[in-house]
Amino acid sequence: MDARCPPRTISLARCYHCGEPLPPLPAHYDVDGAAQAFCCDGCAAAAQWIGEADLGDYYRLRSEAASRVGNGDTDFSAWDRDEVVADHARAVAGGREITVVTDGMRCAACAWLVNRALTREPGILDVGANAVTGRIRLVWDPNVAPLSHALRRLAMLGYRPYLAAGHADEASRRRARNRSLLRIGLASLGAMQAMMFGEALYLDTSGTMPIATRDFLRWITFLVSTPVVFYAGWPFLEGAWRALRHRRLGMDVLVATSTLLAYAASVVETVRGGPHVWYDAAVMFVFLLLVARSLEERVRRIANAQVDALARARPVLAVRERADGSRETVPVSALRVGDITCVAAGEPVPADGTLLDRAARFEESLLTGEPDAVERHAGDVVYAGTIGRQGPARIRVERIGADTRLSELSRLVEQAQAHRPRLAQVADRIAGVFVVAMLLVAAATWMAWHLHEPARALEVTLAALAISCPCALSLSIPAALAAAHGALARDGLLVRRPDALDCLARVTDIVFDKTGTLTDAGSALGDVSTFDGMSRDEALRIAAALECGSTHPLAAAFSSIQAPAAEAVCVVAAQGLEGRVEGRDWRIGRAGFAAGREDDGALWLGDGSRAVARIGLVECVRADAVTAVDALREQGVMPHIASGDAASRVEAVGAQLSVPVPLSRQSPEDKLAFVRSLQREGRVVAMVGDGINDGPVLAGADVSIAIGSGAALAQRAADVVLTGGSLARIAGAVSLARRTRAVVRQNLGWALAYNVLALPAAVMGLVPPWMAALGMSLSSLAVTLNALRLARRAA
């Protein structure tokens, strides 16, 4: 913990413990002799316990406020059941070990508080809290106290625990992290010692050092360097061997060649008493490359943060309602479709389902990127991983496990991060060619210097190999793309096609569908006219039966109407729906399709030749549509509207958004033809739609963006999926894509310029090997830090 970290100043209008705004009647408690206000009794109780436990230093040392505690009535007793923690805990000497995660640790003082608070709990043998990863390792003795006691204390302090990955995954992650830290630590100590001994040898410019002293320093340096080269540098040696086995020449081949050449030549010179050794260059090379690689891994961890967050959002336990109305806590894996689960305020929803009984608010920021909780009403769909903010809520389970939207988003994020864009593949090929060229240059350098000054031939060759290692070139594109994908994922934009980000950066025109994209997803019923003796209520019942189950935004207008079951319902593209209701065939949609009449923009109900109702619908332009379109226009992107709706409604939306020529009554083929016409003019076109009847145009655009909802994401032909509802994210994505392209160009420019300038200096013998290794590592550091700038949230 860094005790110099400045304490956070919390205003009087905010909770002293968590920093949340205070309610009209806050709770109060004396802290260090001064009365402090708290947003809830839970935060006040946490502060009281911290004071009574003599841990009040936490408030002086923290740099961030804690998480809100809430009512603190969560039952953790299910965590004491073997079937719940079986895949997450392991037996250790004296008890069992488990790793939990929490999103409440904000600074080192939080980890300090967790460690000290839990070690005071009975049965706790060891605690290790990490404020960076949010992970807490607990070792407890089940014979003394159950795990739930410690977890209850953790939650009482504002650090709600969640089960981390299985024990095997956690153990593998921990071993990899420990190995990486051990290698860097060993390499840093070896580099310091080797440089210290090497300096003594370098300073003997007059050759007056006794031979015995010189040899002693060399053998000591040999002993120091050997574990650095063969243990700390093992990842590079292993990577080089793997590449050679597959007949490829990559960056690791050049690294391993340089390191082993410097080490082997030094050993030979040490044994035969030659004039020079280069142990310092070998160990410096390994140390600096390990540091550069650790920074690259940090970029990838930032990009993977969304996957970790999605995994953390999966609850392990659920409260299931029995047939008699009683409740039981069960593992989420025990839930089945049709079960009723109960979600308390502050608890995550365990499965996708339908909200029952009453309205409630849910925080969907993890899935959509939207920070504010949204209100859902009875009959609305709620998703696994969202947090109930107004409970309790009863939910009928509709989708479980891998079928939930949370699992679908996790798969999309993982697929996006696994993609290798064409530009990155080109960079890899260039780096491969560069390695071959550098090996040839190194051989030519050695031969030239062997003829000119044999004593310096190996030294200059080592410097040339070290300074020209294409680390920066290999990192320049992947580091930038990883950081950009991570930033987009946090904002609810999932990139599914490898080259989509590059296309998005070059977009000149963007075509919007209207219904459900530029207008609110739900429409309201307007005037309803009926014919041939059909009553208004009967017409709406038939219409609701046909629209039931439809994902078209207009169907939302009929969601509250009780309707009979419809049979053989099918979608007729750009026309409407047809099906059988109570033994009769009906159609709903355009006037010509449903009623054989001239189209007037309304929704008609009929049998195809005879009309029984004309249903007016009212739809509103989305609140953020104007802002989003204006932002795109400011970026030089020309907006267009192509909709299948009637001309009057499309032109009204176009007028509000200042789109001069909106296209109406467009079939999917018409939309595709319009996109093709723009492409023939040399324009780069993005298409934004809700995915309904838009498959051809989404696939035909240079880059396509789908407004995502539910498990239908997998069937979308889109390159980018907007999981949230804010269209402003699209303008932010275009901006980020262009910044990513600029960063990639900067990184490539720097990597190439560095090699062009540094290589001649090394070949001319102006750069010693240790300085060459330093220069190579600094170039890798520069491109990695430049890529990290993209990790900030998209606008």
Q: Catalogue the active-site residues.
A: 513
Structure tokens at 381: 């769909």
Q: In 585-646, which ranges are continuous DSSP H helix? A: 591-595, 625-634
3-state secondary structure of 530: strand
Amino acid at residue number 177: R
- In the numeric block, the tokens 């040999």 are attached to 222
Give Cα 329 to chain centroid, integer Å. Answer: 31
- In the numeric block, the tokens 């159950």 are attached to 146
3-state secondary structure of 606: strand
- In the numeric block, the tokens 């390990």 are attached to 290
What are residue 319's DSSP bridge partners? 329, 342
Q: How many CB atoms lie within 10 A of CB 83?
A: 11
Q: 82: closest CA among 74, 73, 91?
A: 91
- In the numeric block, the tokens 């708290």 are attached to 38
How far, in Å, CA of 218 to CA of 197, rounded? 8
Q: Tell me whether residue 548 is exposed, middle or buried, using C-beta atoms within 10 angstroms of its C-beta: 0 to 12, 13 to 18, 19 or more.
A: middle
CB-based contact 193:280 (threshold 8 Å): no
How far, in Å, CA of 479 to CA of 783, rounded? 8
> Would you tell me the crossing angle of helices 769-788 and 454-467 to the nearest 10 degrees?
10
What are residue 510's DSSP bridge partners? 639, 686
3-state secondary structure of 599: coil
* Phi, psi of 419, rounded to the nearest 5 degrees: -70, 145
- In the numeric block, the tokens 């060619």 are attached to 433
Maximum separation of any 2 CA atoms in the chain, in Å: 117
Q: Which of 156-176 are b and which e, b meaning 16 or more Cβ less than 10 Å from the residue's Cβ?
A: bbbbbbbbbbebeebeeeeee
How far, in Å, CA of 571 to CA of 577, rounded? 5
What are residue 317's DSSP bridge partners? 331
Structure tokens at 479: 């580091």
For residue 35, what are the CA distances in angstroms to 58, 157, 312? 17, 19, 36
Q: In 273-421, which ranges are continuous DSSP H helix? A: 279-303, 305-313, 365-368, 405-418
| Element spanning 334, H or E | none
* Phi, psi of 622, rounded to the nearest 5 degrees: -60, 145
